[in-house]
């Protein structure tokens, strides 16, 4: 049997079996769950080669599944993160209600994401896209919080996006008579100008929703923070990348063929830039770590979209690299929050403090991820951001550089808030009983965290596949001479230029760390937040004096005009207006039989009066 179809059969069968096993006691469902994620992923890594395809016919459409170099890069994210988060989920979701339902949707999400990447035709792309949408929707509402607002909002936006995409698909089908992505790309330059505009816009609406692009992002904070954290790491890390994947195809293979379509790229890039700034600003303001990470995801996806939107070789490479890095560190961070929430019962930064001694390994994972997120060398986040800046400057987008730089700097604030708020600072007696999370949760986090480091020092590991992907997209081969692309790479190729410097920095850092630890160990006094010896004020019992309380108030006073207008409010107003309107229009059905009879007569009379116009 073909391996491609085998992978999907195992996923699907595994999902159903896991769900059924949920009716039994014992760990059968956990075993089945891990097996049905693990086996296909292993099969994917061992038996799938690029270019291998599987075709069949159904419902009059030709289907073709196969992997391309571009989708391989994203499949690495999905498979790797999916596997890690699955291991994490088994431990994190223990003793929850309806775990098998969670497992079911988790497997379906992973399956559908791989399916999207495998799809070489638009129909199976859309089918997997929708499976991904509803399985992630079921995860968002899984915990039963605010389902009628957050859940519905997520689904409405997803549906609008998906339907825009569906419309594009049927229009493409009517124009080309084929559902293949390749044939779309081939025949796109021959379309009329209107279609050349309509199709990418519709597709970008679809992809923009999933990748939380600016006016379409309002679902994201709620959805990311309401899903179980084990799922959110995949949700934010991998699922949002599906939007990026689609966007890459649209930007490179379609939009570059529009005559005079350069401004289109600018618009997308600027939308990405605005998304980055606003996401970051809102992230700083959040007190709930889940919300913080959710907004941070929006901001980070903004960077990626800037890179993809600009579309020069370096920008595209930085965008894809950022996508991989974001999956790694944001996956880790959501897992960290999940671990903390599981151990302490809350994820509020103003309640939980000083966990570093209680959960050292979790702290370590969080530290790596935060460093990568903030873009500090030597972790991967630094290189990708550097490449982004360089590409923006290289293509004369100075204003955009300022925007991105502002956002990137502001991102330090929430990084700091997150790390300091949870782990550092004074310890509250309330959390003295907290223990380290189980090994099954910590190990996946650490693996992901370490891989951010590995990719930071040896970016060639991921840049090679990205390079191949970009070649198939039509970019020149940069294999072996990456240093021509960006000054950050040295002439050994594929490794960052400052490696000796980086090692020195690490050495110094480690030295001081050990030095300070040994020195400080003796002198440290552990106090609670209420123990303020430095100031004259005596705090009251219920006063919240945690670090994250009213974080950066002066800063917010400065940027307040930027944040006053919330798009969310407009959408809500629109939705409420619509509901009121529809509530009014349904009064056509008055309930009086005679009125209905009158409608019939009016209908006939109108038709008879205008019969020549209507049936002429």
Partner 1 sequence: MVGSPVLLIAIPLLAAFVIPLIGMIWKELVRIIPGLVLAYMLILSATLLYYVSQNGIIVETIAGWQPPWGINLVFSPLTGFLATLMSALGFLVWLFSYRFKRNVDFEPAKKYFIFLMLLIAGAIGIVITGDIFNQFVFIEITGISAYALTAFYTGRNSAEASFKYLMMGALASSFLLVAIAILYSQLGTLNMADIASKMHTMNPTYKIIALIFFITGIGIEAEIFPLNGWAPDAYTEAPGPVGAAFAGIVVKAGVYAIIRMIFTLFDIPSAYDFLIVIGLITLIVAETSALRQEKLKRMLAYSSIGQMGLVIVAFGIGTHEGVFAALFLMLNHAVIKPLLFFSGSSLVFNSKEKQIAEMNGLGKRMPLMAAFFSLGAFAIVGLPPFAGFWSKLSVLSAAANEGLLLIIVLILIVSVIEIVYYFRVVNRIFFQEYSREKSAAPHRPRVNALVAMFVLAIAILVIGFYPDAVTGILHNASKDLLNTDEYINNVLQLGQSLTR
Partner 2 sequence: MDDKLFEILEFGVYGASILLILIGLYAVLTKRSLIKIVIGMSIIDGGIHLLLITIGYLKGGTAPIFSPGYEEAAGQMVDPVPQALVLTAIVIGFGVTAVALSLIIRLYRHHHTLEIDEIKRLKW
Contact (Cβ atoms closer than 8 angstroms) between residue 290 and residue 333: no
For helices 289-310 and 398-423, what crossing angle results, to 10°?
160
Residue 590 interacts with partner 2 (CB under 8 A)?
A: yes
CB of 95 to partner 1, least distance (A): 17
Q: For residue 65, what is the enclosing H or E element?
A: strand 61-66
Sorted by sequence, the CB contacts under 8 Å of residue 535 that are 6+ apart come out as none
The entry of partner 2, partner 1, none that residue 163 binds, CB within 5 to 8 Å by partner kind:
partner 1
Contact (Cβ atoms closer than 8 angstroms) between residue 120 and residue 72: no
Query: Considering beta carbons, is residue 553 or 585 the nearer one to partner 1?
Result: 585
CB of 590 to partner 1, least distance (A): 8
Q: Phi, psi (5° rounding) for residue 62? A: -90, 135
Preceding amide of 378 cis, omega within 30: yes
Q: For residue 56, what is the enclosing H or E element?
A: strand 53-58
Residue 601 interacts with partner 2 (CB under 8 A)?
A: yes
The entry of partner 1, partner 2, none that residue 614 binds, CB within 5 to 8 Å by partner kind:
partner 1
CB of 141 to partner 1, least distance (A): 5
Residue-wise burial string across 182-201, b where 16 or more C-beta atoms lie within 10 A, e elsewhere: eebbeebeebeeebbeebbb
Closest CA to 179 of 252, 121, 223, 130: 121
Over the window 45 to 74, marking each residue x when it contacts partner 1 by CB under 8 A and - when it does not, the resulting string is ------------xxxx--------------
Two tokens at 136? 């992630």
Residue 589 interacts with partner 2 (CB under 8 A)?
A: yes
Among 5, 42, 267, 597, binds partner 2 (CB under 8 A): 597
Q: For tokens 């960052």, name the residue.
A: 496
Residue 9 interacts with partner 1 (CB under 8 A)?
A: no
Query: Considering beta carbons, is residue 562 or 581 the nearer one to partner 1?
Result: 581
CB of 233 to partner 1, least distance (A): 22
Among 33, 126, 382, 547, binds partner 1 (CB under 8 A): 126
Stretch that binds partner 2, among 204-212, 459-467, 593-601, 607-615 (CB under 8 A): 593-601
Cα within 13 Å of Cα(448), Cβ side: 41
Closest CA to 205 of 271, 107, 149: 271
Residue 592 interacts with partner 2 (CB under 8 A)?
A: yes
N- to C-terminal Cα separation, the chain = 60
Query: Considering beta carbons, is residue 106 or 270 the nearer one to partner 1?
Result: 106
Two tokens at 426? 């004074």
Residue 594 interacts with partner 2 (CB under 8 A)?
A: yes
Residues in the chain: 616
Stretch that binds partner 2, among 251-259, 337-345, 520-528, 596-604 (CB under 8 A): 596-604
Stretch that binds partner 1, among 47-55, 65-73, 170-178, 488-496 (CB under 8 A): 170-178
The entry of partner 2, partner 1, none that residue 31 binds, CB within 5 to 8 Å by partner kind:
none
Integer CA distances (angstroms), 187 to 72, 117, 280, 339, in order: 24, 22, 40, 50
Please work out the total of residues on this chain that contact partner 2, with binding judged by CB under 8 A: 11
Is 344 strand, coil or helix?
A: helix
Q: Is 398 exposed, middle or buried (CB count within 10 Å of its CB: 0-12, 13-18, 19+)?
A: exposed
Contact (Cβ atoms closer than 8 angstroms) between residue 423 and residue 357: no
CB of 583 to partner 2, least distance (A): 8
Sorted by sequence, the CB contacts under 8 Å of residue 408 that are 6+ apart come out as 280, 303, 375, 385
- How far, in Å, CA of 565 to CA of 248, rounded? 30
Residue 197 interacts with partner 1 (CB under 8 A)?
A: no
CB of 584 to partner 2, least distance (A): 10
Closest CA to 549 of 345, 351, 397, 328: 351
Residue 327 interacts with partner 1 (CB under 8 A)?
A: no
Among 38, 173, 453, 475, binds partner 1 (CB under 8 A): 173
Stretch that binds partner 1, among 70-78, 131-139, 266-274, 526-534 (CB under 8 A): 131-139
Is 53 strand, coil or helix?
A: strand
Stretch that binds partner 1, among 87-95, 382-390, 480-488, 592-600 (CB under 8 A): 592-600
Dihedral of alpha carbons 301, 307, 311, 314, sign: negative
Residue 409 interacts with partner 1 (CB under 8 A)?
A: no
Please work out the total of residues on this chain that contact partner 1, with binding judged by CB under 8 A: 57
CB of 245 to partner 1, least distance (A): 19
CB of 222 to partner 1, least distance (A): 14
Binding site for partner 2 (CB under 8 A): 586-587, 589-594, 597-598, 601
Interface residues with partner 1 (CB under 8 A)? 57-60, 123, 126-127, 130-131, 133-134, 137, 141-142, 144, 147-148, 151-152, 155-156, 159-160, 163-164, 166-167, 170-171, 173-174, 579, 581-583, 585-586, 588-589, 591, 593-597, 599-600, 602-604, 607-608, 611-612, 614-616
């Amino acid at each position: 049997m073909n391996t491609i179809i085998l992978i999907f059969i195992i996923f699907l069968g595994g999902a159903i079996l896991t769900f059924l096993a949920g009716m039994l006691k014992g760990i059968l469902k956990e075993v089945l769950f891990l097996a049905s994620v693990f086996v296909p992923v292993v099969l994917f890594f061992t038996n799938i080669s690029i270019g291998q395809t599987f075709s069949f016919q159904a419902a009059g459409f030709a289907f073709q599944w196969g992997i391309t170099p571009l989708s391989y890069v994203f499949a690495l994210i999905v498979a790797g993160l999916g596997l890690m988060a699955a291991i994490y989920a088994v431990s994190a979701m223990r003793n929850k209600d309806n775990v098998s339902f969670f497992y079911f949707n988790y497997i379906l999400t992973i399956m559908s994401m791989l399916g999207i990447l495998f799809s070489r035709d638009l129909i199976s792309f859309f089918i997997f896209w929708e499976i991904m949408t509803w399985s992630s929707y079921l995860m968002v509402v899984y915990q039963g919080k605010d389902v009628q607002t957050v859940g519905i909002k997520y689904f409405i936006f997803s549906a609008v996006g998906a339907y825009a995409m569906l419309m594009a698909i049927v229009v493409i089908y009517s124009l080309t008579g084929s559902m293949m992505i390749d044939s779309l790309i081939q025949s796109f330059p021959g379309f009329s100008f209107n279609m050349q505009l309509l199709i990418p816009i519709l597709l970008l609406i679809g992809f923009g929703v999933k990748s939380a692009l600016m006016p379409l992002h309002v679902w994201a904070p709620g959805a990311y923070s309401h899903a179980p954290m084990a799922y959110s790491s995949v949700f934010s890390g991998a699922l949002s990348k599906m939007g990026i994947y689609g966007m890459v195809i649209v930007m490179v293979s379609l939009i570059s063929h529009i005559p005079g379509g350069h401004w289109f790229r600018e618009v997308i890039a600027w939308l990405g830039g605005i998304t980055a700034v606003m996401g970051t600003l809102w992230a700083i303001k959040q007190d709930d770590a889940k919300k913080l990470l959710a907004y941070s995801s929006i901001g980070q996806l903004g960077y990626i979209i800037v890179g993809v939107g600009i579309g020069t070789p370096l920008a595209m490479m930085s965008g894809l690299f950022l996508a991989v890095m974001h999956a790694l560190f944001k996956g880790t961070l959501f897992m960290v929050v999940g671990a903390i929430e599981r151990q302490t019962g809350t994820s509020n930064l103003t309640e939980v403090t000083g966990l570093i001694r209680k959960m050292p390994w979790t702290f370590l994972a969080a530290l790596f991820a935060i460093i990568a997120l903030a873009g500090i060398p030597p972790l991967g986040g630094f290189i990708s951001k550097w490449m982004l800046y360089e590409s923006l400057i290289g293509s004369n987008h100075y204003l955009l550089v300022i925007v991105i730089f502002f956002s990137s700097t502001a991102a330090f604030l929430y990084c700091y808030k997150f790390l300091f708020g949870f782990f550092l600072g004074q310890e509250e007696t309330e959390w003295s009983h907290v223990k380290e999370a189980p090994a099954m949760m910590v190990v996946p986090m650490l693996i992901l965290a370490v891989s951010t480091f590995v990719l930071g020092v040896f970016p060639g590991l991921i840049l090679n596949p990205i390079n191949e992907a970009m070649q198939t997209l039509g970019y020149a081969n940069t294999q072996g001479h990456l240093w021509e692309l960006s000054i950050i790479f040295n002439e050994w190729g594929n490794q960052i230029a400052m490696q000796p410097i980086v090692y020195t920095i690490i050495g110094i850092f480690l030295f001081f760390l050990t030095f300070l630890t040994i020195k400080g160990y003796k002198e440290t006094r552990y106090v609670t937040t209420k123990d303020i010896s430095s100031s004259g004020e005596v705090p009251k019992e219920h006063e919240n004096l945690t670090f994250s309380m009213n974080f950066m108030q002066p800063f917010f006073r400065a940027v307040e005009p930027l944040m006053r207008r919330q798009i969310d409010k407009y959408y809500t107003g629109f939705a409420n207006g619509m509901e009121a309107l529809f509530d009014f229009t349904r009064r056509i059905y008055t309930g009086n039989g005679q009125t209905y009879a009158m409608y019939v007569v009016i209908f006939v009379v109108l038709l008879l009066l205008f019969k020549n116009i209507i049936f002429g």
